[in-house]
Amino acid sequence: MNLKTPRWRHAANGAALVAILSAAAIVLHTTPDRDLQQSPISVPGSLGEPATGRNIRATVHSVAVTEAVTAGTGWAGGTPGVWVVVNLSVEAVETDEMAILGTALLRVGDTHFSASTRPGRTATVVGGRLATGIPLTGPLMFEVPADVASSTSAADATLEFAISSDPRVDSLLVVPVDLGDLPVQESLDVDVPEWGAR
Amino acid sequence: MTNRGTPRERLSWRAGSRRLFDKLPTPWLISGITAVLLAFSAVFGGLDDAPVQAAPVIEPGATHVGAELTVTVSEALLIDAFPEQLLVPEEGNRLLVVRAVVENTTTGPLRLAAGAADSLRVGRVPGVPGATPPYRILVIDDGSGEVAVQPGVPVELAFIWEVAGDAVAEGDSIQVQLLDRVKISEGELTYGGLYDDPVVTATLDLPLGDVGAGVSE
């Protein structure tokens, strides 16, 4: 019979199949995963300069490492580690509805620390209600192990701020700080949060 | 295939059993095979109760390394109230306090919420059923009631339950259970992990102390 499929057709079918599978593999392995699709939108900032996101503007005025800290409320908690004390101005940009400083993290290498709530609601700006255009200026305290400041990744530490406790698909202000460069103070007194820029 | 009317022909033993087998309903066959398999496995102990791995009992003061938390329970005691933390039990009740040093070995802060029995709980306390979450968790250093244990920074906590005044007394032995959370996955819609029921990974027996109205320390 003369109806036999020629060999080159088999080869072409095989090649087409390989091409389709390769294309599918490329699509499969390069599609952004859920973490990437929902990742926060990073807004890089720098020490002393305001960084502005969708509904949050923050300025990190100073960063200090201290063995003991006393809040403006009189709170003085002990820790086997050290405190990283940040002075921060933070305000809402668009609306003060649902505007609280919900995410305030210190990221050192793979590890991240949340701003301590131990001093109480009135002593630091974490969880504080923000006003549109009127900065809330006050301290943030991070309780970290004593060896963090001397670790190799301390130079690349970052402070991260967002308007909600769930920072996905919204602005995340990322301010690099060099913890390794800071002297460890014996004690530090800070003020209670106040309205207005420093 | 019917041979009605004719005298029933005599079948050989083999053909007779074959006909019987053909008449056997399939469900009977399946049940029969299952029964044979079960009986066979029973010979080798297949139907015995599965051994329950009892959580190891550790000494008071010993450090227990869990999946997320490293916990060292030091003592359990009764106290009247913590008025400075506005923590005053109902009339006639007292507070049962378990003191423990907790270190977070993960890479992010862990919130230990009162009302969630997923890190430490007590057993053998009359009026406090096994899975009762602590009524409050306080940081002993400053009395703070919002506990987020930061990675690598050990913190001494007081896990507090309210008990009836006559339920337990000084010298009674209570059980403290240390638990691990079992992570299922990251949340699909929610932010953060989803967790299955916590499992007890160690227990310890502690004699109860009693500090009356409280000690100053």
Domain ranges of chain B: 13-43, 63-210
Domain containing A99 — which CATH number?
2.60.40.1240
Q: pTM of the predicted model, to two decimals?
A: 0.81
Interface test with B, best of A103, A113, A169, A172 (most B CBs within 10 A): A113
Positions of chain A with pLDDT lower than 70, given as ranges = 1-2
Q: Is B147 helix (H, G, I), strand (E, B) or coil?
A: strand
Cα distance between residue A99 and residue A90, in whole Å: 11
Q: Does A97 fall in a domain? A: yes
A34 within domain boundaries: no
Among the partner residues A117, A144, A166, nearest to B146 by beta-carbon distance: A117
pLDDT at B115: 80
The full DSSP string for B73-119 is: EEEEEEES-BGGGTB-PPTTEEEEEEEEEEEE-SSS-EEE-TT--SS
Instruction: Indicate whether A32 belongs to any domain.
Output: no
- Given a cut of 90, is residue B52 above it in pLDDT? no
Distance CA B91, CA A190 (A): 41
Tell me if A139 is assigned to some domain: yes
Question: What gap in Å lies between CA B168 and CA A139, rounded to an integer?
Answer: 44
Predicted confidence band of residue B23 (pLDDT cuts 50, 70, 90): confident
Q: Is the pLDDT of residue B1 over 60?
A: no
Q: Is B189 on the interface with A (CB under 8 A)?
A: no
User: Total structural domains in chain A?
Assistant: 1
Contacts of A80 in chain B (CB under 8 A): 153-155
Whether A165 is in a domain gets the answer yes
CATH 2.60.40 fits B63-210, yes or no: yes
Residue type for B6, please?
Answer: T
pLDDT in tens, A154-182: 999 999 999 998 998 999 999 999 998 89
Are B153 and A79 a contacting pair at CB < 8 A?
yes
Residue range(s) defining the domain that contains residue A91: 41-195
- Say which DSSP state A164 is in: S
Would the pLDDT of B139 be above 70? yes
Report the residue of B153, B156, B186 to disrupt the A interface, i.e. the one with the largest count of A CBs within 10 Å.
B153
Q: What CA dihedral angle connects A156, B146, B191 and A57, to 10 degrees?
A: -50
Residues of A in contact with B144 (CB under 8 A): 77, 117-120
Residue A36 domain flag? no
Within-domain flag for A133: yes
On chain A, the residues whose CB falls within 8 A of the CB of B108 are: 111-112, 114
Residue-level pLDDT at B217: 46
